[in-house]
Amino acid sequence: MTTKGIKIWIWVQNNRILKAISNRESGTISIYDECDNIILRRTGLSRQQVKTIEMIFATYALNKIGDRKEPYTYL
């Protein structure tokens, strides 16, 4: 991920692998399942709202994928 402001988070919930992509620049949060089917997409968020959601992800100890790794390196 070379684009600044984009973060990818992964976690396991109910035996399903879920992935969230947050983008502060465009103000979007998207959540996908293990088959890359979109579950939820929120658009039109402010940078502060995206930052708050990212802090919630960090609070629940979701795994953040680093900037130099492909989204499914850990799987």
Q: What is the mean pLDDT of residues 19-48?
A: 93
pLDDT at 70 over 70: no
pLDDT in the model for residue 57: 82
Of 11-15, 16-20, 46-50, where does the model show the most confidence? 46-50
Instruction: Confirm if 22 and 46 have CB atoms less than 8 A apart.
Output: no
Give the DSSP letter string of 13-29: ETTEEEEEEEETTTTEE
pLDDT in the model for residue 42: 95
